[in-house]
Amino acid sequence: MLNLTLTTLASIVDTAWQGLNASDFRSLAILLVFALLFALEALGGYRNNPHKQTRQSYLTNLGTFLMNDTLMSLMSVSALFLVAENFGHWGLLHGMKDPVLKGVLTFLSFDFTLYLWHRLNHSHDSLWMFHKVHHSDPTMNVSTAFRLHFVEVVLTAMVKAIFIMAMGVESSAVLANEAFITLMVMFHHANIRFSGERWLAKLLVVPYLHRAHHSTLRKEHDNNYGAVFSIWDRLFDSFTEKEPEKIGVESVPGLGVIELLRYGLSASWLPTPKADVTSSILTEKMIAEAAYYRAKARGFAPGYDYIDWLEAEKEITNRMNKAKKSKAYPSFLCCCR
């Protein structure tokens, strides 16, 4: 009787396994890797964050994922698959005979496209307005990978669709690339550290590299844009190996799902700030960020440090005074990068 039961169970599992398609395998792989990384973080993450803050981060990020998944995420994968089915016969790589070489070139060019797109999200305020939602997590864990504003999800899907048509990517390659990159993004957001990490970082984006990208300091988080390979950052002078003192966006507290949605749709909205938001310490940090931005804009030419600081101080003070008069939260706090 027991043998019959085990045989029946094995038959059911085997039938269910055979019934899975490529999309199902992708979802299963993502779920398993998420569970593994979550377990490693639960056993003892690299950065010690307050339990309440970490719990809110997970709840908000997973809530955001479910909302995006319902509105766009699954549709975007299906839409990209359809784009590849209908337009994949176009593009630069379509006529290539060697499938291995074509697959390698497709993946490399896809990862490079995501590097450029990510960098654009940091350099243009109109894109940063949505992308700052991802950076606003005051902790950094595997769930942060899914902390995306739905507008950014839509725009990213459009960029990927253009890439598929321009390069002539086949539908099977779309699913494979999407799956692997999603796994890599979860991996480098995980709050973990392991031996050999710095060696692996010579080629791939690993957690300690991406932590610098989530620093509250712009001079640190305007680096390490890569999704899979770290070579793009090394080649295009956007590579850093600094351990950030703080994670997130300066002055932005932990936000709920609806608050995140509003935050990404406005350059000036935030919940009512705490009394110490306009403290002298925070003001000095904002002035330092503004002075750094001015120095960066002129190529860090020497001899202007004091002038940069005075001009930044004047700018921040004027904005804070205007914000107090209008009783609105300063927009530069929300968009501070």
Average pLDDT over residues 312-316: 78
User: pLDDT tens digit string along 133-186?
Assistant: 999 999 999 999 999 999 999 899 999 999 999 999 888 888 889 889 999 999
Report the pLDDT value the prediction gives residue 188, as an integer from 0 to 100: 96
**pLDDT value at 6 more than 50:** no
Whether 139 contacts 49, CB under 8 Å: yes
Range(s) of the domain holding residue 160 = 21-235
The predicted-structure confidence for 54-103, as pLDDT tens digits, reads as follows 888 888 988 888 877 766 555 556 677 778 888 777 888 888 889 899 99
Q: With respect to residue 179, please indicate whether it lies within any of the assigned structural domains.
A: yes
The pLDDT score that the predictor gives to residue 316 is 76
Give the pLDDT score at 96: 84
Torsion (CA) 171, 177, 180, 183 in degrees, nearest 10: -90
Backbone angles phi, psi at 204, to 5 degrees: -115, 160
Check the CA dihedral 222-54-47-147 and report its sign. negative
With respect to residue 7, please indicate whether it lies within any of the assigned structural domains: no
**pLDDT value of position 175:** 85
Pair 327, 180 in one domain = no
Q: What average pLDDT does the structure give for the chain?
A: 81
The structure tokens listed for 284 are 């000095």
Q: How far apart are CA 251 and CA 248, in angstroms?
A: 9
Please tell me the predicted confidence (pLDDT) of residue 172: 84
Residue 29 lies in a domain: yes
Q: Are residues 64 and 171 in the same domain?
A: yes
Please tell me the predicted confidence (pLDDT) of residue 15: 46
279 and 170 fall within a common domain: no
Q: Do 285 and 177 belong to one domain? A: no
Q: Number of folded domains in the chain?
A: 2
Strand partners, 247: 215
The pLDDT tens digits for 15-43 are 444 555 556 666 788 889 888 998 988 88
- Angle in degrees, CA 25, 31, 37, rounded to 5: 135
C-alpha span between 164 and 155 (Å, rounded): 14
Give 269 or 127, the one with higher predicted confidence.
Answer: 127
